[in-house]
Structure 1
């Protein structure tokens, strides 16, 4: 028996215990494939006769499989003498076997050959079809067999995503974890950090799906598409800062932001937030933003008692932002009127919301509707409140004096 020392990211710890279904989903650089590849090698080293099938929906050649990843792990651990790597398969200690298959290449009858296998690992599982998933699950019937899946989510309607994250995913024999680059302790060992930062800067519409494991969205529905960039900058001392806060309810976060306007661009340099923030903890949350006591705040007026508490008990210069029918739409229009919106990298909450804040989309026709979805809007609401006064009510009727009425009558 050869002992292996395999460092494992903490995010994958729930997947180490036995379970019929194990899933890991998220963006690029998380180490999902490396985790499962290392587990396959470890199991085949310690369990004689172990059999694993590595699956993709479409596998036109062995080069397009996960074989090379597993071979790399075998080489990394110095196990070349114990594993017989062949063209189409890998023979493992104790007459074990690792094979590689594309589900589209097999019929229901041919897939029955997997009945005696111990593990099935589906890589790029977001592409697995409903038919393939229905075939595979009952085929893996050996006692103690497990089905593993790793994927970058594309849509909640994908069969694998619906199974692991949709209704019914609370079953006792299923465990799934979300893993992203930020969960990978070894992420900085290479070129990926530069790639991620460049995507965040230059391709924010794609960034959420590629790096954070977000679903693919219809980019035209993203309200601030191509209008927001995440860049490092230094806030000028002479700036006129605007502060805003949106109160949390239930699972919605309390969200606070600070911003300033310069050269017709909007800069967002600080944020603070949290879910389940109690009233007594709110002052400390707002204090995370520099200058919180010196500058005026604008807040959601739905909680006047909170505004009063902060003003009278703690001395915050805080008042309710004005609201009117259509104030959300007016706020969006004013924000889009800036030449550019620049978000500091430390403001991760509002950067994420800008990537996801969108108009509703008809699921059947994919038509983009003129209705703003009530989601991913807490920090953005705080930003609208902060700019109270800068954002104007475009629906307010003009005030008429007796002189203007007479002038209009003469025309």
Structure 2
């Protein structure tokens, strides 16, 4: 008989082995790692199993997962029965169960392990998706039920953990709405036990620690969302905070009502890992709104195949402004009856084009433009080693943004700073 006081929000989790996957996400100090470690110990005392504990970097395991398991074993008074061996790092149980530890930075060592029936991926968002799939292949046993436990603090929605266990918009795959998990706290679906926790669920935390987390709201909202709320989201500064999505019919009706719409088409070229992206858009010069209502987005297409798929542009005669880095491709389309010309490119054009797009008061995108939404809704700036924004580099390569750049070539959006500068000059002349 083992008696141990635990946090109430984790009581059901400790003894629930009904699913293959158990995905725990939460804020800092929520005690998810502690309860996973306790759950493992209880299970391996009950059944003879081999469990594998994994982090991305092997050297980080000694002071995290191994130390935590060792602490719990001592706290339970089982240190004379369960042996914690430092070299090689291993925990051995009296019934023959054992816990072994590996790092994904040394993948060759994974090939030698056999009969693993439980795997714990600590900080799973740091592990690459290919590593996750490799570990799935190592999870096998001739008779025992298999389990994989994944724990993480929430990161960007671009991370594979979010795409695999919640939503992958690019591949039109939906598993669970993360907002539903935040509300219900635990959900079982698709052979996965989902568990959400925050510092409020850890009754053993000092109040001062929670106060520190609360203070993040004032000076680091991104970290506050992750550490205090335990929510997935957008990490970093959004490039286009004015970007919004609207039903297609509403977008088309708004365009129809414009007194003097400016229609534009832009195209970015791609083939293997990048994409051919074409965007149809309309500018409302009065309100300084940009409407995006149609997209084409494909890769691994030869020019003749793409030309066949977009032949409607030959019929409409619409001018396509395209990437000037591909003069041969532009010439091909021209020779095949397309009205296409190269958009200007120059030193610093990426930054200038980005600033131009940012000047729109609103960017309203049709909900039918799935790839545009995926790329631009949560697009953020890259940062340098000093944590400063790089104004012309982004967290992904947004092909639809490039198409918008080219489509807006030679169109200028009013700069709010310009009237201010004129006003200052007028005042200086009067003086």
Q: Does 1:228 align with 2:243?
A: yes
Aligned to 1:218: 235
Q: Secondary structure at the match of 1:330?
A: helix
Contact 2:321 2:341 in 1 (8 A): yes
Aligned to 1:145: 116
C-alpha distance in 1, partners of 2:315/2:361? 27
Sort the Cα spacing of 1:65 and 1:387 in 2 relative to 1 into closer, same or farther, 3 A: farther
Q: Does 1:301 align with 2:324?
A: yes
1:129-144 alignment, distance < 5 Å: 130=61, 131=63, 133=65, 139-140=98-99, 144=115
Sort the Cα spacing of 1:62 and 1:224 in 2 relative to 1 into closer, same or farther, 3 A: closer
C-alpha deviation, 1:303, in angstroms? 1.5
C-alpha distance in 2, partners of 1:140/1:216? 34
Q: Secondary structure at the match of 2:354?
A: helix
Sort the Cα spacing of 1:371 and 1:260 in 2 relative to 1 into closer, same or farther, 3 A: closer
Q: Secondary structure at the match of 1:261?
A: strand
1:129-278 alignment, distance < 5 Å: 130=61, 131=63, 133=65, 139-140=98-99, 144-147=115-118, 159-165=123-129, 170=134, 173-174=137-138, 178-181=164-167, 182-184=172-174, 217-219=234-236, 221-225=237-241, 227-232=242-247, 233-235=250-252, 236-237=255-256, 239-262=261-284, 263-278=287-302
C-alpha deviation, 1:353, in angstroms? 1.8
1:11-67 CA-partner distances (Å, limit 9, x unpaired): xxxxxxxxxxxxxxxxxxxxxxxxxxxxxxxxxxxxxxxxxxxxxxxx722556547
C-alpha distance in 2, partners of 1:169/1:70? 21
Give unmatched runs, 5+ long, in structure 2.
1-5, 20-30, 54-59, 70-88, 91-97, 101-112, 140-159, 184-221, 416-431
C-alpha distance in 1, partners of 2:243/2:389? 20
Aligned length: 270
Aligned to 1:95: none
C-alpha deviation, 1:362, in angstroms? 3.5
C-alpha deviation, 1:121, in angstroms? 11
Sort the Cα spacing of 1:317 and 1:133 in 2 relative to 1 into closer, same or farther, 3 A: farther
For residue 337 of structure 1, the aligned residue among 359, 362, 365 is 359
1:274-293 CA-partner distances (Å, limit 9, x unpaired): 12111111113434x77873
C-alpha deviation, 1:337, in angstroms? 1.2
C-alpha deviation, 1:352, in angstroms? 1.8
1:283-362 alignment, distance < 5 Å: 283-287=307-311, 293-313=316-336, 315-362=337-384
Contact 2:52 2:116 in 1 (8 A): no
For residue 405 of structure 2, the aligned residue among 354, 370, 384 is 384
Aligned to 1:104: 34
C-alpha distance in 1, partners of 2:120/2:392? 36
Aligned to 1:94: none
C-alpha deviation, 1:387, in angstroms? 0.8
Q: Secondary structure at the match of 1:241?
A: strand
C-alpha deviation, 1:361, in angstroms? 1.6
Give unmatched runs, 5+ long, in structure 1.
1-58, 74-100, 123-128, 151-157, 196-204, 395-411
Alpha-carbon RMSD = 4.6
C-alpha distance in 1, partners of 2:13/2:43? 20
1:73-88 alignment, distance < 5 Å: none
Question: TM (normalized to structure 2)?
Answer: 0.50
Contact 2:243 2:362 in 1 (8 A): yes
C-alpha deviation, 1:270, in angstroms? 0.6
Aligned to 1:60: 7
Q: More displaced, 329-338 or 366-375?
A: 366-375
C-alpha distance in 2, partners of 1:374/1:292? 37
C-alpha distance in 2, partners of 1:104/1:290? 60
C-alpha distance in 1, partners of 2:52/2:134? 21
C-alpha deviation, 1:385, in angstroms? 0.5
Sort the Cα spacing of 1:387 and 1:369 in 2 relative to 1 into closer, same or farther, 3 A: closer
Sort the Cα spacing of 1:61 and 1:165 in 2 relative to 1 into closer, same or farther, 3 A: same
